[in-house]
A and B are shown apart, each in its own frame.
Chain A
Amino acid sequence: MTVVSVGRPDGVLRAAGLAGLLALTLASLFVGVGALSPKTLFSDPEALRLMMVSRLPRTLAALLAGSALAIAGLVMQTLARNRFVEPATAGTAQSAALGILLVTVLWPEAPLGWKAAVASLAALAGTSVFLALVHKLPPTQPFLVPLFGIVYGSVVGAAATFAAWRLDLLQYLEIWTTGEFSGILRGRYELLWIAGALVALAWWTADRLTILSLGRDVGVGLGLNYAAVLRLGLVIVSAVTALTVVVVGIIPFVGLVAPNLISRFAGENLRHTLPWVAGTGAALVLSCDIIGRLIRFPYEIPVGTVLGVVGAALFLALLFVRRADG
């Protein structure tokens, strides 16, 4: 029966996608200030060290953060039942930053893991409030949701800025609010594997998340434990966002562009589209990081800044290019 498998992009596309991601990964491994080529890698022990301590961790961090942020966006859009929200703008990331700020003040010597835990809790609280308020908005006005998200995210962000200013921690806040990978070394990115595991968890529960997107009545009617799936989604969004903010900083637009791009072509049956969304996010962040390394070589431009430009352009293109299927 082919009818029910039509949503699956075929094997050729899948192979092409993987090849593209692999090419970007290789490029990322060999692009940077320190000269590194596949030839010297095995002859020069210093080159191998550079690879293992810096390039490989940085590349893995970009892949993990990109895929996880794309999935966080996808799940958040499912929870809010609106295609135009993402954690980076709708308060989740700002709440996480506020949480790190608090833990930095109260427990300055806290290990990174604890900072991530507190940031996750703060993100969970901030996102719960956002969703509770969003569900009170009139469903006939879908554009109120992203607008409200931007206002809400700005208010939380402003609170964080004000607190940082009073506490003289503005330069620290800058680190968490501007996503960049230049500081990533071995031992400084491993928390992102948890974000990667959460992506796997999202895939595992993809059918439930898809049903969640059909709304509460349809979900309950189909026997979905609606509240439990909602909570699971909240945890995925909050933890992924908080982990990336702690390790890399806020990276905008990934959570918005990757799910919308894939939805346009392959729909929203998450079992089939989720790997594509994750791959698109990874490719987007990795290519923007490479661009940031090259554009004024040997200096670097933070990936958050590059994505601010590239992501905005992509998003506008998505809005204005007419849908191929009418």
Chain B
Amino acid sequence: MIDISDVSLTLGGSLILDHVGLTLPKGGVTALVGPNGAGKSSLLSLIARLRPLQTGRITVDGLPVDTTPTRQLAKVMAILRQDPGVASRLRVAELVGFGRFPHNGGRLTAEDRRIVAETLEQFDLTGLASRFIDTLSGGQRQRALVAMTFCQGTDYILLDEPLNNLDMFHARELMRTLRVMADGHGKTVLVVLHDINHAAAYADRIVAMKDGRIAASGETAAIIRPDILEAVFGFPMRVETLAGRLTVLHHA
């Protein structure tokens, strides 16, 4: 369970998060949506203890994120921020291998190597394993970073716009992988998404943010409604059921 209570954040005099309270049960895929500047990434950073908590309280699996040792948290929760700007000349396999750092302190065990090889295979990176990441395309690098995050093997996975730079094929693959992680491995996934239809198709729950507050939160079908989406994003859009799936027609 991720429990957020009364969290506010002020940066440079402006209020980024305004008394946010949210409880996410263990398991399932939760999509965090909302317009730019709604506070999604800031909230994710606070949950992942990348930013110090100013007020309020956040626990992940019962562990307070501001007082639990960071190494212990790293075995419970993995985070991939949007565009972490990784510039080191590491090979893909080496980068993904560092995902095992919280467990092994740097020395890969046979078990770690097996997990790394599996993860590389899972993310279609085996052929790129010995390439330096600074020679990859943006999408390939993004996949390598997501693979490193998964390789951490945590129960909670936080991803900030992981579909950035991914083509349709790999975006779909990643969303399907998130579903498998949640359904087959009991992982709890919290993912910031910009494409509302990815959220509609793959998420169990949607949390919509606007102006630093939680605007709406609930089962996917309860959030993918024209009135709620208009209130969050600020323009009217149609919601249709196509081939049994809720689809938002926001292009018109």
Contact = CB atoms under 8 A, between A and B. Distances in A.
Interface of A: 1, 3-4, 6-7, 81, 139, 206-208, 210-211, 213-218, 220-225, 263, 267-269, 271, 325-326
Interface string B47-77: 0111000000000000000000011111100
A3 B94 CA distance: 9
Interface string B23-62: 0000000000000000000000100111000000000000
17 contacts: A1-B110, A1-B113, A3-B120, A7-B94, A139-B85, A207-B106, A211-B101, A213-B88, A214-B84, A215-B85, A216-B50, A217-B79, A218-B84, A221-B48, A222-B101, A267-B132, A268-B90
Contacts of B105: 207
A132 to B, nearest CB: 18
B89 A6 contact: no
Interface string B114-144: 1011001000001001101001000000000
A7 B91 contact: yes
A53 to B, nearest CB: 42
Given A210-B90, A222-B152, A325 B135 contact: yes
B86 A223 contact: no
A222 B89 contact: no
A214 B97 CA distance: 13
Contact of B98 (A1, A81, A222, A225): A222
Contact of A223 (B75, B114, B120): B75
Given A1-B117, A3-B116, A269-B91, A221 B79 contact: yes
B87 interface: yes
Nearest to A269: B94
B99 interface: yes
A67 B58 CA distance: 46
B85 A223 contact: no
Nearest to B104: A207
B91 A210 contact: no
A220 B105 CA distance: 13
B108 interface: yes
Nearest to B126: A3
A271 B106 contact: yes
B161 to A, nearest CB: 14
A208 B106 contact: yes
B80 A221 contact: yes
Contacts of B189: none
Interface string B199-217: 0000000000000000000
Given A139-B85, A225-B70, A325-B132, A4 B113 contact: yes
A213 B94 CA distance: 13
A141 B132 CA distance: 22
B106 A267 contact: no
A211 B107 CA distance: 13
Given A139-B85, A213-B88, A271-B106, A224 B94 contact: no
Contacts of A210: 88, 90, 98
Contacts of B91: 6-7, 267, 269
B78 interface: yes
B1 to A, nearest CB: 20
A88 B91 CA distance: 29
B146 interface: no
B50 A4 contact: no
A206 B72 CA distance: 21
